[in-house]
Structure 1
């Protein structure tokens, strides 16, 4: 008897085995297309997110793109949440983890966070999938293991390090989602710094601090603010 999708998912988590075993198609294209595999499903899902955004990603949409029926997908992927986990795991597999260095641990943890951010920004809104993803995918766990090793090497207490990883990844996820939404459909509607300065200058005197510090409030790029927040979070860990 062939393994169920849940059994295949469990095998991926326990052994890191590739669940790319092909199966015959079901539905209108049976026998006329290449067999469906987990890799094909994941690759197609990434293509949909890249061109249409994460909101467009559904199991039905993936099945349509593969010219098959939804039942063909469920032979390999348990559900949409399982697909989300596979996507985040695939992105995490691209993260390069350094050998922990006690003298450079802060720079190292910031580098890992920046890599994760850049992976998410390749696919608009995909960090939404990471919010609910359980830390069970082996590639996702590899990244959290690497982050934990870096923090421990830097002298951070184990409990503090454990909660710091949660806080840092939540911030990276939220930042990436906000950035994707702000740039959705182009930047034509995004207010420029000059326009913001003009708006602040036109405020009534009941906003004295906003008017006086308008330059500071609008300074820097979004990635400057990302780095600032990470420095703020990491700087207090010890």
Structure 2
């Protein structure tokens, strides 16, 4: 049995257990992680042709075609024809990859609307654009659950929303809450309708038959309005909710002196 090594300076045994000065790596996506990533020196990248953008492009293509479960470092490396070690020069793990991928996908949220629109029209334009983007890339919507959205593109989108709502007369606190509630509504509307096509005539026909076949004593309104209810699409639902939210925000701006926050 070997004797434990003593330190050269003091001749004493080193303390047992984990070092107290070691800190855990911040979780990807947190404010601490983004700050640490921005302050660290550029990583060595031996294969110059492989860039972070190329990695994220491959990840997005994989996400669109095969879904979030296929988004692994091995699959991305196979798509790019490189080793997994090459990927780790850009991201440390899948969690970092997802964090960066989601932030880049959110860049559409700060796209510039038409200049002639007022703040309500600009908010509606941006909301529709963001929803359509998520519908084209449904895998992104699934990755947004529980994320903190603190990356550069996410913060640019937040800046844009704050400019709209503070410019309309809301306090910074209310403007932030309004922007978050609008984003939550958009994400919820997309999540709720993933994999559904309410505009499909066959689906409408089946809905009509289903509603009509219910017990009118138990579900009288479904039976009575079967034809109308079967024609309601996810676009109808989204537009009603969007209009209700923006109408409420406009009311807050008109009563800014009595609104909380």
Normalising to structure 1: TM-score of the pair? 0.77
For 2:76 and 2:68, the matched residues in 1 are separated by: 12
Asked whether the equivalents of residues 23 and 35 of structure 1 are also in contact (C-alpha less than 8 Å), the reply is no
Q: Deviations over 1:51-83 (max 9, x none)?
A: 212332122221221223323222211332322
For each residue in 1:167-190, what CA deviation from the matched residue of structure 2 results, as whole angstroms up to 9, or x when unmatched? Answer: 22122223223333326xxx99x9
Residue 225 of structure 2 corresponds to residue 203 of structure 1? no
Offset at 1:87?
1.9
User: 1:113 aligned to 2:135?
Assistant: no
How far apart are the structure 1 equivalents of 2:122 and 2:38? 27
Q: Per-residue CA shift, 1:5-31, capped at 9, x if unaligned?
A: x999647657xxxx8x77235xxxxxx
Q: Out of 90, 94, 102, which is 1:88 matched to?
A: 102
Post-superposition offset of 1:104: 1.9
State whether structure 2 residue 45 is matched by structure 1 residue 23.
yes
* CA distance in 2: counterparts of 1:100 and 1:148, whole angstroms: 17
Higher RCO, Cα 8 Å, sep 6+: 1
In structure 2, runs of 5+ residues without a counterpart are 1-27, 253-261
Aligned pair partner of 1:62 in 73, 76, 79 = 76
What RMSD over aligned residues (CA atoms) do the two structures have, in Å? Answer: 3.3
Any conservation in 1 of the 2:113–2:125 contact (CA below 8 Å)? no
Give the structure with higher Rg (CA). 2
Identify if the C-alpha distance between structure 1 residues 193 and 130 changes in structure 2 by more than 3 Å, giving closer, same or farther. same
Quote the residue 1:29 is aligned against.
none
User: By how many angstroms is 1:156 displaced?
Assistant: 2.6
Q: Indicate the residue corresponding to 1:194 in structure 2.
A: 205
From 58, 70, 82, the equivalent of 1:44 is 58
TM-score calculated relative to the size of structure 2 = 0.71
| Conservation of the 8 A alpha-carbon contact between 1:85 and 1:130 | no
Question: What is the aligned residue count?
Answer: 218
Secondary structure of the residue aligned to 2:148 is coil
The answer (yes or no) to whether the contact 1:90–1:139 under 8 Å persists in 2 is yes
Indicate whether 1:97 and 2:108 are aligned: no
Report the CA distance between 1:88 and its aligned residue.
2.4
- SS at structure 2 position matched to 1:131: coil
